[in-house]
Chains A and B, each alone.
Chain A
Amino acid sequence: MNDEVNQEVIVARGVKRTYSDNGVPVEAVRGIDLIITRGEFTAIVGPSGSGKTTFLNLISGLDPVSEGEVRLNGKKLSAMSGRELSDFRRDNIGFIFQAYNLIPVLTVEENIEYIMLLQGLSRQERHQRVEKILAEVKLEGYADRLPNKLSGGQRQRVAVARAMVSHPSIILADEPTANLDSKTGAELLDMMRNLNQTTGMTFVFSTHDEMIMERAERLIVLKDGLISSDETRQ
């Protein structure tokens, strides 16, 4: 493999997803071709129902494509079994969700540790990484809190830490700021951008928020399940 292909972290070709809504077919994604390269900081925007969530789910293997193919780090997702897919996600993708989706019974530290535990990292390694990432998301001293004792912004920072701590190559975030006020949302985005630049991880996130869009390096606009514009700013 040459270097250029190696740089292609996400490759979508002719990707379609059709749902059946009580027998009526709903074409959520109608044919998307897209290449995202290493280190990009990309926003996917578009009106409600345009297929942002669906597309993110397709490129992370959470949802199978109806047509077309998705390659992540050169691996074809549709060729993997359920178990392989979940291991692949664990090792390659960090997720951030709109509704935080932390494990409510685990403390901040345990939530962040979770994926590393699945990966079987040593206790020492885990501890070091948790300390480091907590500092990076500015949550020192919160390690032993339960999620419901945190503000929305703090929770989402834990989610960012959880997504990044296992050093995945891709961070996918579906409307990570939708539940936050705009100031907190902007702060979170700045923090993500910062981490993107220091770690070189690839970020793809969807959003509705104009202020958030401005912070993106590349802006992909979806409309009715298709890409209507795709521009990269310098």
Chain B
Amino acid sequence: MLTFKIAFRNIFRQKRRTFLTILTMFGGFTLAAISIGWADGTYNNIINIFTRNQLGHIQIHHKGYLDRPTLYKTITDYEALGATIENIKNVEAWTPRIFSAGLVSVGDKTAGVRIIGIDPVRENNTTLFNPKIIDGKPFSDTAAFEAILGKGLAKILKAKVGDKAVIVSQGADGSIANDRYTIVGLIDCGDEISNQTSFYLHIDDASELLVLSGRIHEMVIVVDHLDHVAEATEEIQKSIDNPELDVAPWQVVAKSFYRAMQADKKGSWISLFVIILIVAVGVLNTVLMTVLERTREYGVLRAIGTGPGQIFRLVIYEVAIMAVISVIVGTALSLLSLHLLSIYGIPFPDNGFEYGGVVFTHGYAEINLISILAPTIAVVLSAMLVSIFPAVRAARIAPARAMRMH
């Protein structure tokens, strides 16, 4: 308590130096907090938009489907599976999908397409399907021989809403599958390839066309927050407990996208390291100067019976108090800045960029625990670490010699 009192009052002796030291720590803290919060926010935002567009957070397939998709690697009784998944913590929505390839003709135009059978209500709940429709209307809730085309495909086929489309494909039983659908809408999937190949059907229509009898190829799941993906993946795996099924998070399903995100994220941790270095050098400089200046005083304290441990603590406390002040002020300013940045964002240079068909114009910060915690640990730890050496030196001072100094 006594040591703390002296340490606290010592802070006010060299006000300028104390101010500069706190400024260094506070500045480092705030920069680190904002850069982490901003990077996390921006990347999470990109990932969110990307996963919410089509990918989902977690996907379930028949084993091996992702590596070599075929019509026959299916999931049976998806309704029961969905009912199980729905009850898992943090799961927000799920939707089934059927995929196959076929030839579509509208009038005298023909094109190869990717048939995608979706459950209109669930798909919309999971990946916001309906807002992407740029012409026409969404699917009716029940199957009604309706089709929705990627806008690029419509262009190739010179098709418009209201036209009839004839599809030829192969059923799971080996039969020739063909049928006629009314084009009810056009959709902008986000990227060009999808737009040129996507041919959406109601899942029941697709199932009948391909003779799948209710089996599906893909189950897409979204959870409430990106941070919960790993945990939810594990939970799903555990509760469905089926070796025939693969449960994979988006990081596995979209490997290249994930890698691109990871590489960029490293930048913010490098900046954290640089900041630690600056803080460490600044604090070390201050503590060394202080200890040198007060050598005589430490000598007196030692002479009149203060133990070496108390001198050590005296030096450490002084730095610790400054660090705590820096962290408190830094936290306040960082939270405020991150809050504002999460609302207004910062525009990306060159009008933003496109990834996977989605255009990103602004980076938005995110307030998360790590953006405050990491700089706190970094600042406090580096300040404490660099103080140890000067503090030991102060504690070891030989009183007789120290008191000869002026």
Contacts and interface: CB of A to CB of B under 8 A. Distances in A.
Interface of A: 53-54, 57, 60, 62-63, 82-83, 86-87, 89-91, 95, 97, 101, 103-106, 110, 114-115, 117-118, 162
Interface stretch (B5-13, B41-49, B142-150): B5-13
A101 B405 CA distance: 12
Contacts, number: 64
26 contacts: A54-B400, A60-B303, A62-B399, A63-B398, A82-B308, A86-B305, A86-B308, A87-B305, A87-B307, A89-B303, A89-B305, A90-B305, A95-B300, A95-B303, A97-B300, A101-B297, A101-B300, A103-B6, A104-B297, A105-B6, A105-B9, A105-B12, A105-B13, A106-B9, A114-B304, A162-B304
Given A83-B308, A89-B303, A95-B300, 12 more contacts: A86-B307, A86-B308, A87-B305, A89-B304, A91-B305, A103-B6, A104-B297, A105-B6, A105-B10, A106-B5, A114-B2, A115-B304
B302 interface: yes
Given A101-B300, A104-B13, A86 B6 contact: no
A24 to B, nearest CB: 17
The DSSP consensus for interface residues of chain B is helix
Contacts of B303: 60, 62, 89, 95
Contacts of A114: 2, 304
Contact of B307 (A53, A83, A162): A83
B197 to A, nearest CB: 77
A83 B399 CA distance: 13
The 4 closest A-B pairs by CB, nearest first: A90-B305, A105-B9, A63-B400, A57-B400
A218 to B, nearest CB: 24
A121 to B, nearest CB: 12
B140 interface: no
B306 interface: yes
Interface in B260-298: 296-297
Given A83-B307, A86-B306, A103 B399 contact: no
Contacts of B297: 101, 103-104
Interface in B368-406: 398-401, 403-404
A86 B300 contact: no
B324 interface: no
B301 interface: yes
B306 A118 contact: yes
Contacts of B400: 54, 57, 62-63
A66 B12 CA distance: 41
A213 B13 CA distance: 38
Contact of B403 (A86, A97, A106, A118): A97
A82 B399 CA distance: 11
Interface residues of B, number: 24
A106 B13 CA distance: 12
Interface string B125-153: 00000000000000000000000000000
Contact of B305 (A97, A105, A115): A115
Nearest to B307: A86
A118 B305 contact: yes
A211 to B, nearest CB: 25
Contacts of B13: 104-105
Contacts of A97: 300, 403
A87 B308 CA distance: 11
Nearest to B13: A105
Interface string B26-57: 00000000000000000000000000000000
B224 to A, nearest CB: 53
Contacts of A104: 13, 297
Interface core residue of B305, B306, B401 (most chain A CB under 10 Å): B305
B308 A90 contact: no
Nearest to A90: B305
B130 to A, nearest CB: 70
Interface string B1-26: 01001100110110000000000000
Contacts of B301: 103
A105 B400 CA distance: 22
Nearest to B10: A105
Contacts of A101: 296-297, 300, 403
A35 to B, nearest CB: 23
A105 B404 CA distance: 21
Contacts of B5: 106, 110
B350 to A, nearest CB: 56
Contacts of A106: 5-6, 9
Interface core residue of B12, B13, B300 (most chain A CB under 10 Å): B300
Contacts of B10: 105
A86 B5 CA distance: 21
Interface core residue of B10, B307, B400 (most chain A CB under 10 Å): B400
A117 B307 contact: no
Nearest to B310: A118
Contacts of A90: 304-306
Contacts of A62: 303, 398-400, 403
A114 B10 CA distance: 16
Contacts of B6: 103, 105-106
